[in-house]
Structure 1
Amino acid sequence: MEKHFNRLLNLISFRTLLIVTLFTTGVLQFFLMFGNIHSTTYDIQAFQLAPETIRAVKTVEDTVKTQQEREQAESSVEPVYLFNEEMAEHRAAFVRSLFDIVLDVRKEIDAKTEEVPMEEQIELLSVQLREITDSQSQLNFTNSQLQSLLTAPKSAISAAKSFLAKEVETMLEEAIRAEDVALKRSELESSIRQQGALDESILSAVIMIGRAAIVETEILDEVRTEELVLQAQEEVEPTRILQGQIIVQEGELIDREVYRQLELLGLLDNQTTTKPIVGLIILIILQMAFLYILFIQLNMEIEKKRKALFVTASVYCISLVLMKILSLLSDEFESTIAFLYPTALATMLVRLLANERAAVLITVLTAASGGIIFHEGFSAVLQMDIALYIIFGGLSSVFFMRSFEKRSHLLKACGVVAIFNLLFIAFYLLMSQTNYDVFELMYYVIAGIASGILSGALTMGLLPFFESAFGLLSTMRLIELSNPNHPLLKKLLTETPGTYHHSVMVANLAETACEAIGADGLLARVACYYHDIGKTRRPAFFIENQMSGINPHDSLPPERSAEIIIAHTTEGADLLEKHKMPKEIVDIALQHHGTSTLKFFLHKAKEENEEVDEKKFSYPGPKPQTKEAAVINIADSVEAAVRSMKHPNAEKVQQLVHSIIQSRVQEHQFDECDVSIKELKQIENVLCETLNGIFHSRIEYPKEG
């Protein structure tokens, strides 16, 4: 089943697989988070009793209230008026000039030798007054009024002039606004009528002139008033309905104002909106886009990228499910149960099973999703305290515990996570400015510690399942396999001690060389321990185990000897598979000789018979598929060859290593892996340095006489 599935995956391009996996993950995330983006709505009408206490789920501006308060502030602004101190004198001069015109016209008429008809006199006076009357709407003399001014005694005109100018000037020395002008004109008219000394014939004209002379002395300063109005409006803070604010208590009447606020907050059933759904979709698209970019840019073999993708997606989905379960249980608790969430679970699993970059990204994505899943009704868009809690807890396991090679390291990471959890909870409690009792404080302390412990416990518990399900080989698994107490290694040590020693030496060489070219040195070391496990089937047929000096190959035909030697790769792979060893180690057991030829037995066969099938003297392969397998292929041959040298020195070792690598290249043993010529040169240099340190020339001490 697994082989068919892997074959199917090989038919699909990684980009297509990535898109399908992320789409599936995004859909699952959407359905898990869908219920957390809808706020509670109520099927209520105006003027009915509230079924429960209703609070605002978000902070919104009440524009109606804000506008009302601004209008109120505007109405409270006192208009600014400017008093014209010169107006009294000007209007008094205006009165005098009118009467002076009348006197001048009469003087002009009197100077004529001929008698001027009254109609012409009225016309002449009307023309002289026209410049003033045209600019004063209140001055509209009738012919009878003009005639009275032309026929009244000059002394009466002069008396009216003095009296009216003084009255106008006195009255206009007070502040008179536009709305008071009519009243002041009436007061002046009353004063004129009460003045008995005025000639009755000109009383009507004097009253009209007096009323026209009264104007406003305080003028509205529209610019300054408008500035004050704008300032008053700006000083009015927008009225907001705050999140968590009680809109109506249970059992209270929902009046028009309350109903309007509920409508504004979107808490009524008749208000449906797709905005939160669209927002959630955008968030998920952003998260999946980051994962897409991460895996597209990831520089590793396609098979490893596939496994890393499946692991990351699976861990992310498990985290979402776990958060969803906690959020469903949160209603049963008064305290924030989200603090029990294992903040570093996703980070540790992805760090151990994929890589560090993916672990950092998955921490941020999990925190963002947790902020929505643990979202409470009175928080803003995200439950930011929980999002930060997950970020700090997760990143602490990455940046403060860089090594996860042993279970003790994982336990230390749990302690680091617990400490950071407690520090963040302390920040949360202090910033909330709320008084907590002893039991609540104990709960938060226990929650922070439990989160750290659960992170490690669940990581260790889930790790074997992920390794088995996806065929992954974690660092911790490799460390476990390197334990000498492993049954296979015990078997190798007791049954083939020479092979065991050879395997350990090869492991030292391979690990150093792999680390030099950026390959997995730990994988190479552990694979070397098991690469010759097939030799335990027939220990005596391998030279390193022939302690008695008897070589059974001396009595066998070369074809049979080659068959026995070659079989140790396939027999070793079978034995490893029976013990459910990781695929990477099984593959290296098969590939560590590639398709190379047993030249010794081939040459021996040709000496006996010229017609020889060379395929019977070649390993079945496959050729090395990874850098680690290529390095082990070289190190295995190099160690055996150098060990058989008499009096090795640096020059001999260098020549031997170089010839072995060149031989492998000429035999095309590295055509199916991505090791470069530059890396082969690095491998050569590292192997030479390591071998010189192992097989260095010893000082010959003088013999005692």
Structure 2
Amino acid sequence: MTALKELLSQLRKVKFTFLLLLVVSLSSILLFFLMYGSTQNETYEISAFEISPKTIRSPKTIEDIEKTELERVRAEQAVPNSYRFSEDIMKNRQAILGSIFTAVSDVKVEVKKDPDMTSDTKMKLLQKKLEGLEKEQTLLPVTDDQFKQLLSAEQGDLNNLHELLTHAVGRELSKPFKAEQVPMHRYEVERNIRETNTLPRDLLDVALALGRMAVVETEIIDEELTVKNQMDARASVEAIRILQGQVIVREGQLIDRDVYHQLKLSGVLNNQSSLKPTLGIILFILFVSGLTAIHFGKSKRDEIFKKKALGIFYIILLLAVVLMKIVSYIDYEFDVLIAFLFPTALVPMLIKLLINERSAVLATIITSATAGIMLQEGLAAIMQMEVALYILFGGIVSIYLLSEHGRRSTILQTSLGVAGSNMMFILFYLLMTQTSYTTPELIFYAVAAISSGLLSGALTMGLLPFFESSFHLLSNMRLVELSNPNHPLLKKILVETPGTYHHSIMVANLADAACEAIGANGLLARVGSYYHDIGKTIHPGFFIENQHNGRNLHDALTPEKSRDMIIAHAEDGAKILEKQRMPKELIAIARQHHGTSSVKFFYLKAKETNPDVNEDDFRYPGPKPQTKENAVIMIADSVEAAVRSMKEPTPEKIATLVNAIVRGKLEDDQFDECDLSLKEIKLVKQAINETLNGIFHNRIEYPNK
């Protein structure tokens, strides 16, 4: 504890910007090492064709790209070719027949011009005319002898043959059929030719050969449609995935090639370490650190408070992460989700009570996200979302339920509210999982929800005094406790100096209203006002509010002695509070509420006998008010005492008096050491005037009976 206080003392001398970078950097490194193990999947030393030592599940959902592609290729190859009927084929084949007969006729014309042309010359001339068809191998079924027969035939017979073939081939090619049906349609053409009696016998073989040559399939492959159907078939095959949590191999089962391939894809083999999770954690911590740095960097509070708040924020956050680490170690030993035992409201309640609500919201978000990563069961793709939401909702509920100005008893009430919230979330979780749970499991989850809420409250109440004393913090919770009229020091003031007690209550009302008007800590001003004059309990009779018998003890004292008695109450009060180990803020109020003001009454009285008396000898030792709250209490203290002495206070008189007192303090430079602006002083005067007018409003005079 002493070492921590010494460290805090040294840190007060460091610039906040440097401290912010230092704390965020060191905390980020600690956070990384605490979170690192939570992102590493369990791996196994396994080879193919071994017996699995345990049941292994996939830690993530991953696509088996190789197997998916194989299935898609199979689906693509299973798609039959698509065909379309082409009428152009009939026309093309009839055109080929026409070209053959035209070529034969042309050669016959040449023969007439040269009757001595040999048979070979005729064939060469014909082959030259049919050169294109020969290159396409269209004329393969027709022999040279058959062409010679055509050349030797009569022109009339050729014309009949041409007409016959055009008709027979056209009739068959007008029908749609594929390659495997070609023989049947060639047979039909042959049958039609044989049934015709108009052909000479020597041209029958030629006619049959030409007919067979002309018949080809009329349905051709539609490449575009075929490709489209293949692509559709590929697309219809869904990606083959290994699902998160899916059992890849059971204990005692042989690990064949397919199972080993799935284990390899899932990344659970020992030789498959990956840097991706580590890089992800680094990015997460950088994001959280940057967000925290922005949050505290933009805070408008003073540097001392920001330094303390920064330390408290990260200490609580790291404590929570350590607790998550402990929970994660024992989580694997149970079939139920042990993470539901984590105290969901611990971090937000502590930070709200010690810092503020805004910081508590940020801490809740960071804690829930961190818990989702650290408390996962190893089967979550990124984080255990139900755990993250569980802690997020529990934390948010606690922030709304916990009153900043409540007593410690409100922590218990908040804990019960958080327990109820946890129960509702776990019920939602159990219903959404659509899984059957045993009675012991249901009992565990109910107990976990309640325990999480109550544990949050218990740990908050246990840790709160540690942070308050270590960081010298005066939380709102502590202030509320100190405002309890049953506090021994307040009872002391009430019993020993009842007039001072009433004066302190009035000052508290004025100071609270004025501080709220300028955005200062009204609760601190109120509680500080309760204790600011506790030094008067040492010599209560020397203060006018405690003199009830008409006797003034100062009448028997010299001005110097009276001065000492009056001035001493500020330091006496500070010493009493120090002895009782009261917060330093209240001690400062007791010591500073008069600043270095002069005790004018006794100064003027001393001047009557000694014109050369020095006014500085009749001033409080100070120091001057160091904070806005202390300055407001100084004004409220002087105003209350002055207004109480007025016989018939009216709003105009009160306003004039308040202005005069504040102006006197300004001219006496009492506000030089605090950051109270002129605009805020104006607001303070307005608030004090309104409060005093409410206290001293005109009352209706009731008739006496």
Q: Same fold (TM over 0.5)?
A: yes
Contact 2:352–2:404 under 8 Å retained in 1 = no
Match of 1:573 in 2: 574
Distance in 2 between the 1:377 and 1:490 partners? 59
Match of 1:514 in 2: 515
Distance in 2 between the 1:688 and 1:118 partners? 139
Per-residue CA deviation, residues 349-391 of structure 1 (Å, 9 max, x unaligned), is 1111111111111111110011011111222211000111111
With structure 2 as the length reference, what TM-score do the two structures score?
0.91
Match of 1:636 in 2: 637
Match of 1:22 in 2: 24
| In the alignment, structure 1 residue 502 sits paired with structure 2 residue 507 | no
SS at match of 2:248: strand
Per-residue CA deviation, residues 642-673 of structure 1 (Å, 9 max, x unaligned), is 11223332222221111000011111111222
Q: Would the alpha carbon gap of residues 113 and 135 (structure 1) be closer, same or farther in structure 2, given more than 3 Å must change?
A: closer
Contact 1:138–1:211 under 8 Å retained in 2 = no
| In the alignment, structure 1 residue 453 sits paired with structure 2 residue 454 | yes
Letter in 2 for 1:461: G
Report the CA distance between 1:263 and its aligned residue.
1.2
Match of 2:345 in 1: 344
SS at match of 1:332: coil
Report the CA distance between 1:55 and its aligned residue.
1.0
Distance in 1 between the 2:186 and 2:271 partners? 63
Per-residue CA deviation, residues 36-77 of structure 1 (Å, 9 max, x unaligned), is 100011111122221211111100011111111111111121
SS at match of 1:11: coil
Report the CA distance between 1:600 and its aligned residue.
2.0
Distance in 1 between the 2:456 and 2:130 partners? 104
* Number of equivalent positions: 703
Report the CA distance between 1:578 and its aligned residue.
1.0
User: What aligned pairs does 1:270-289 form with structure 2 within 5 A after superposition?
Assistant: 270-289=271-290
Per-residue CA deviation, residues 7-58 of structure 1 (Å, 9 max, x unaligned), is 5223211121112222222222212211110001111112222121111110
Distance in 1 between the 2:454 and 2:375 partners? 21
- The match for 1:77 among 63, 75, 79 is 79
Contact 1:18–1:309 under 8 Å retained in 2 = yes
- Which stretch shows the higher mean deviation, 180-189 or 493-502? 180-189
- The match for 2:67 among 65, 68, 85 is 65
Per-residue CA deviation, residues 393-441 of structure 1 (Å, 9 max, x unaligned), is 1111223445551234323322321221111111111100011233322
Report the CA distance between 1:219 and its aligned residue.
0.4
Identity, in percent, stands at 50
Contact 1:139–1:209 under 8 Å retained in 2 = no
Per-residue CA deviation, residues 333-358 of structure 1 (Å, 9 max, x unaligned), is 22111112121111111111111111
- Which stretch shows the higher mean deviation, 241-250 or 160-169? 160-169
Match of 1:301 in 2: 302
- Which stretch shows the higher mean deviation, 440-449 or 621-630? 440-449
Q: Would the alpha carbon gap of residues 96 and 514 (structure 1) be closer, same or farther in structure 2, given more than 3 Å must change?
A: closer
| In the alignment, structure 1 residue 660 sits paired with structure 2 residue 661 | yes
- Which stretch shows the higher mean deviation, 98-107 or 495-504? 98-107
| In the alignment, structure 1 residue 671 sits paired with structure 2 residue 669 | no
Match of 2:57 in 1: 55
Distance in 1 between the 2:6 and 2:251 partners? 63
User: What aligned pairs does 1:131-530 form with structure 2 within 5 A after superposition?
Assistant: 132-133=133-134, 137-138=138-139, 147-151=148-152, 172=173, 177=178, 209=210, 212-530=213-531
- Which stretch shows the higher mean deviation, 202-211 or 81-90? 202-211
Per-residue CA deviation, residues 233-277 of structure 1 (Å, 9 max, x unaligned), is 111111110011111122222222211111111111111211101
Match of 2:561 in 1: 560
SS at match of 2:389: helix
Distance in 2 between the 1:618 and 1:6 partners? 34
Contact 2:5–2:470 under 8 Å retained in 1 = no
Letter in 1 for 2:44: Y
Letter in 2 for 1:267: V
Contact 1:102–1:150 under 8 Å retained in 2 = yes
Q: Would the alpha carbon gap of residues 547 and 3 (structure 1) be closer, same or farther in structure 2, given more than 3 Å must change?
A: farther
Distance in 1 between the 2:559 and 2:16 partners? 47
Letter in 2 for 1:482: S
Match of 2:601 in 1: 600
Q: Would the alpha carbon gap of residues 191 and 54 (structure 1) be closer, same or farther in structure 2, given more than 3 Å must change?
A: farther
Q: Would the alpha carbon gap of residues 490 and 235 (structure 1) be closer, same or farther in structure 2, given more than 3 Å must change?
A: same
User: What aligned pairs does 1:105-124 form with structure 2 within 5 A after superposition?
Assistant: 105-106=107-108, 109-110=111-112, 112=113, 115-118=116-119, 121-124=122-125
Match of 1:46 in 2: 48
Contact 2:625–2:673 under 8 Å retained in 1 = yes
Match of 1:609 in 2: 610
- What are the ranges of 5 or more consecutive residues in structure 2 without an aligned counterpart? none
Distance in 2 between the 1:304 and 1:420 partners? 33
Distance in 2 between the 1:162 and 1:408 partners? 114
Letter in 2 for 1:565: I
Distance in 1 between the 2:149 and 2:37 partners? 95
Contact 1:139–1:208 under 8 Å retained in 2 = no
Report the CA distance between 1:91 and its aligned residue.
2.5
Q: Would the alpha carbon gap of residues 190 and 11 (structure 1) be closer, same or farther in structure 2, given more than 3 Å must change?
A: farther
Contact 2:59–2:380 under 8 Å retained in 1 = yes
Letter in 2 for 1:407: R
Contact 2:133–2:139 under 8 Å retained in 1 = no
- What are the ranges of 5 or more consecutive residues in structure 1 without an aligned counterpart? none
Distance in 1 between the 2:704 and 2:134 partners? 148
Report the CA distance between 1:281 and its aligned residue.
1.0
Letter in 1 for 2:479: L
Alignment RMSD? 3.3
Letter in 1 for 2:74: Q
Letter in 2 for 1:51: P
Contact 2:404–2:477 under 8 Å retained in 1 = no
Match of 1:13 in 2: 15
Contact 1:534–1:573 under 8 Å retained in 2 = yes
Distance in 1 between the 2:43 and 2:199 partners? 84
Match of 1:31 in 2: 33
Distance in 2 between the 1:501 and 1:592 partners? 17
Q: Would the alpha carbon gap of residues 571 and 127 (structure 1) be closer, same or farther in structure 2, given more than 3 Å must change?
A: same
Contact 2:142–2:210 under 8 Å retained in 1 = no
- Which stretch shows the higher mean deviation, 571-580 or 496-505? 496-505
Distance in 1 between the 2:242 and 2:8 partners? 58
- Which stretch shows the higher mean deviation, 13-22 or 272-281? 13-22
SS at match of 1:219: strand
Contact 1:347–1:397 under 8 Å retained in 2 = yes
- Which stretch shows the higher mean deviation, 615-624 or 233-242? 615-624
Contact 2:8–2:471 under 8 Å retained in 1 = no
Match of 2:535 in 1: 534
SS at match of 2:220: strand
| In the alignment, structure 1 residue 618 sits paired with structure 2 residue 619 | yes
SS at match of 1:82: strand
SS at match of 2:12: helix
Contact 2:540–2:546 under 8 Å retained in 1 = yes
Contact 2:53–2:252 under 8 Å retained in 1 = yes
- Which stretch shows the higher mean deviation, 500-509 or 690-699? 690-699
